[in-house]
Structure 1
Amino acid sequence: MSFEPGEQRFLKKPTFLFKGIFVLQGSPVLIQKVEGESIHVLYRDKEGFEHVIPGLKKEDLE
């Protein structure tokens, strides 16, 4: 499965805490950058604020 910047995917990773924000499993994310096995995504929280989450793996996304 290939991952390209600008693609929208969904998180498979269980809900986790990132810089004081709960990132919910099943949330849509936008791929920002792919660096080998590390994927940086853009996550929008419930209030509408955007956060770049670095270091996700391919198996964390569907």
Structure 2
Amino acid sequence: ANAGHAMFDLNRYTVDRLAKAGVTAEGLDRCTYAEEGLFYSYRRTTHRKEPDYGRQVSAIVLERE
């Protein structure tokens, strides 16, 4: 925690919301900021004042049964 900074657990929040909607979900203990070899991180890039950052696109498809 940082003094004077609010902290938010997006992973936990998302898993909880999905569970309330009846969706089975699991949060992974991964950090896009720290795991540079695996993930792009906008936050990491801006902290380093680098000129560009990677991109990621995700999609979820719900099919009717």
**Pair in the same fold by TM > 0.5:** no
Larger proportion of strand: 1
Q: Pick the TM interval, shorter chain.
A: under 0.3
Between structure 1 and structure 2, the one with the greater Rg is 2
TM-score by length of 2: 0.20
Larger proportion of helix: 2
